[in-house]
Amino acid sequence: MQLLVSPSSIEEARHSVAADIIDVKRPSEGSLGANFPWVIKEIKSFAKKPVSAAIGDFTYKPGGASLAAYGAACAGADYIKIGLAFDGETRARDMIAVVVKAVKDEFPKKGVVIAAYSDYKRMSTISPYDMAPIAAELGADIAMVDTGIKDSKSTFEFMDEADLKTFTIKNADLGLKTALAGSLRFEDIARIKRINPDIIGVRGMVCGGNRNATIQEDLIATALAMIR
């Protein structure tokens, strides 16, 4: 299991380099809010680790999504991550197809991460269960679960351990890796290890419980020790 940490600035990223993956996003713009391309470039220049970049919680805008995905890839991100903030399998298919094409045509070794939300029912968006088979079919690399509304409610308040274990196993059968995020806490790590996703994504956990606070290096070290 790899630890993905989401700094909100270049300075925070300098304190996050112990993580397995540095995830560039802008929390003020949403769950998967996009940061600036020059921020991605700068973090990539010193991280010495894989860098992922969120491009946004997208409504159904295939053109905008594909251009954002291509921009993040050109800026140096190793993984390009989009959240599907709408419902409908046909529309999800359209969005995933163009994002994968935008990245893979020029950067075939870069990874595409498709995120759906554990709180999809209250958001009226596509469920992770419906998203993952489409993502696999269309050539994405990772299916992610995150919370879309950041109100301190954890993914575990919307999907239980059994649900997430099944999701992870089915993804492996489809050839997808699984990333799990969404206001996760240190006390969740024991059950996360039983679920055994490929990646655990955190911010609030390593900010002392408040995602709007600052990342603390000692908490990253604690999280790494606990998931190993």
- 25 is known as an active-site residue: yes
The CATH fold of domain 2-207: TIM Barrel (3.20.20)
104 is catalytic: no
pLDDT at 123: 97
CB-based burial label for 203 (10 Å; 0-12, 13-18, 19+): buried
- What distance lies between CA 207 and its chain's CA centroid? 17
Determine the distance from the C-alpha atom of residue 227 to the mean position of all C-alpha atoms in its chain, rounded to a whole number.
Answer: 18
Q: What pTM was computed for the model? A: 0.96
Annotated catalytic residue, options 49, 81, 110, 177: 81
- pLDDT confidence of residue 210: 75
Q: Residue 211 carries which side chain, given as an amino acid letter?
A: R
User: Residue ranges of the domains in the chain?
Assistant: 2-207
Per-residue pLDDT of the chain (228 residues; tens, 9 = 90+): 999 999 989 999 999 999 999 999 998 899 999 999 999 999 999 999 999 999 999 999 999 999 999 999 999 999 999 999 999 999 999 999 999 999 999 999 999 999 999 999 999 999 999 999 999 999 999 999 999 998 889 999 999 999 999 999 999 999 999 999 999 999 999 999 999 999 999 998 999 877 778 899 999 999 999 998
